[in-house]
Amino acid sequence: MVLASTDPRAFCAGADLNIPDADRATVSDLLYGCYEIMITRPGPVIAVISGPAVGGGAQLAAAADLRIAGPTAKLRWIGPAGRGLAVGAWVLTDLVGRGTAMELAMTGRWVTATEALAIGLVNRVEDDPGQVAAALAEEMAIQDPRTSASVKSVAAAAGLLDRLRAERQANRSAWARVIAPTAGSAP
């Protein structure tokens, strides 16, 4: 499966900040379900990252098995201000190591395509990432499908799913704290 944006200027800009917190909490929880499906499905998932990938969009890219970035790709793990959300802590540790993961998740700083390649966040940076991802997908499609299923199963067994579920629960709690004070107030 190749995961790409219909707009080459951005991969996924994250949550819609114009919708109510209760709706954003629902979308956030649905995204965690999507990440789990991506991690546990037997076939490979290749993300094509062109332009910004922010918050949930950065997590969507990171949840993919392979990430092919364009030269203008940049990633940022940050949630909406004042919500106390953990964004990316579950996946970044395996990709870039604990120290870099902590920095990226705690500071929300931008990571360019060049840096993402250097720290292991993306597999490749290509001028035409969509074309490269399509070629990789074709190559993997002719292999025994049990190979990718086995590799993914072993890679996820090291605690990745436990961290995903822990971050999902932490963010459910954070959203509940944000929404609870306003639940009884008038629109």
Write out pLDDT tens, residues 137-162: 999 999 888 888 888 887 777 687 78
Q: Which residue has the higher pLDDT, 6 or 89?
A: 89
pLDDT at 132: 96
Residue listed under structure tokens 């997908």: 137
Whether the CB-CB separation of 60 and 140 falls below 8 Å is answered with no
The domains found in the chain, sorted by start residue, are: 2-179 (3.90.226.10)
How many Å apart are CA 43 and CA 82, to the nearest integer?
A: 37
pLDDT at 128: 96
Evaluate if residue 16 carries a pLDDT over 80. no
How many Å apart are CA 143 and CA 103, to the nearest integer?
A: 38
**Phi (first) and psi of residue 37, to 5 degrees:** -60, -45
pLDDT category of residue 185 using cuts at 50, 70 and 90: low
- If you average pLDDT over residues 95-117, what whole number do you get? 95
pLDDT at 97: 94
Whether the CB-CB separation of 68 and 99 falls below 8 Å is answered with no
Whether the CB-CB separation of 39 and 94 falls below 8 Å is answered with no
Residue listed under structure tokens 């290509």: 126
- If you average pLDDT over residues 79-105, what whole number do you get? 88
pLDDT at 72: 95
